[in-house]
Amino acid sequence: MGYEYTINNMKQAISTLLTEKKLTASNIESIGFGFPGQIDYKEGIVKALPNIPGWVNVPISNIIEKEFGITTKIDNDVRCAALGELNYGAGVGCENLICITVGTGIGSGIIVNGKLVRGASNAAGEIGHIKLFPNGEHLCGCGDYGCLEAYVSGPSIVQMAEEYIQGGKSTKYREMANPDITPFIVAQAAEQGDGVARRIFTKMGEYLGTGLASVVNLLNPEKIIIGGGVAGSGDLLLAPLKETLMKRAMPISAEAVEIVPAKLGNRAGVIGASLLAES
């Protein structure tokens, strides 16, 4: 319905919260937001949100600051999640980590020597756009082919599931679809022993492990923290991921990294956004 509609809802939510808690702007140090896309952190501008049309060069920090008179910081949602996990979740005590969410797409936040990495144009951490297959057939949301995100995400699970059905495979998730196949249904079928569903998650884990092997070789992190909706499938995804990464990454880096599930769940991004004033 357009970014103006959403911003009005955001303003209303903030106003309601202030009223409920009997607070005024003078009580609030800052407001923080995490957005799923390309963010100009320094200028407070949403450059583009690939999965939410219409959000292009929106000066959201300025809009919110004018409305409430409160300093407003924004960043990519997964970078916010990385800050949350670093300070209060699975990354406590780490100096070097990568926080990844696997859902509609793949996002990541990178911590090096205790500091969040943003990059020259505030675009660091686009692990989902590592080229997994140089001549890949799957088109990614970024407009290129062969990206990791095009092979490991919620939509790619559904696509692979449908391809198996079209190929004549008998599957439990087809019976469970109501009426559509979803990643959650495929995960349920895998947990119930459906061989095709388990194969889908094995392939997803292998793809993700292959992509992350390059990241581990490059950054030598202590931990990789995995979150997001697809990551909720647990060892269905994490077991083949770990096995593949250990095979494909250099031993000195592979042996140093621990792959763990996120601790803060959906709260990670909110907690991290609250820390933007200090980052």
Residue-wise DSSP of 220-269: --SEEEEESTGGGGTHHHHHHHHHHHHHHS-HHHHTT-EEEE-SSTTHHH
Residues 23, 133, single domain; the answer is no
Measured from the Cβ of residue 154, the count of other Cβ atoms closer than 10 Å reads 18
Q: What is the pLDDT of residues 155-173, one digit of tens each?
A: 999 999 999 988 888 788 8
Residues 176, 231, single domain; the answer is yes
Residues 120, 252, single domain; the answer is yes
Residues 70, 109, single domain; the answer is no
Quote the pTM value: 0.88
Q: Evaluate whether residue 84 is within a structural domain.
A: no
Q: Evaluate whether residue 12 is within a structural domain.
A: yes
What CATH number has the domain bearing residue 125?
3.30.420.40
* Predicted pLDDT at 260: 94
Q: Evaluate whether residue 174 is within a structural domain.
A: yes
- Residue listed under structure tokens 């022993």: 193
Residues 180, 162, single domain; the answer is yes
* DSSP 8-state secondary structure symbol assigned to residue 147: B
Residues 127, 59, single domain; the answer is no
Residues 213, 156, single domain; the answer is yes
Number of domains in the chain: 2
Q: Which residues of 52-71 are buried (b: 16+ CB within 10 A; e: fewer)?
A: eeebeebebbebbbebbebb
Residues 102, 33, single domain; the answer is no
User: 106 and 242 in contact (C-beta within 8 Å)?
Assistant: no
Range of the structural domain that residue 46 is part of: 3-79+269-278
**Type of residue numbered 128:** G
Q: What's the rounded Cα separation, in Å, for the pair 201 and 219?
A: 26
Residues 46, 171, single domain; the answer is no
Residues 37, 101, single domain; the answer is no
Residues 258, 274, single domain; the answer is no
* Predicted pLDDT at 198: 94
The ranges of the chain with pLDDT < 70 are 279
* Predicted pLDDT at 51: 76
Q: Evaluate whether residue 18 is within a structural domain.
A: yes
* Predicted pLDDT at 44: 95
Residues 42, 136, single domain; the answer is no
Q: What's the rounded Cα separation, in Å, for the pair 86 and 268?
A: 10
Helices 183-191 and 154-166 cross at an angle (nearest 10°) of 70
Q: Evaluate whether residue 86 is within a structural domain.
A: no
Q: What is the pLDDT of residues 212-261, one digit of tens each?
A: 999 999 999 999 999 988 878 888 999 999 999 999 999 999 999 999 99
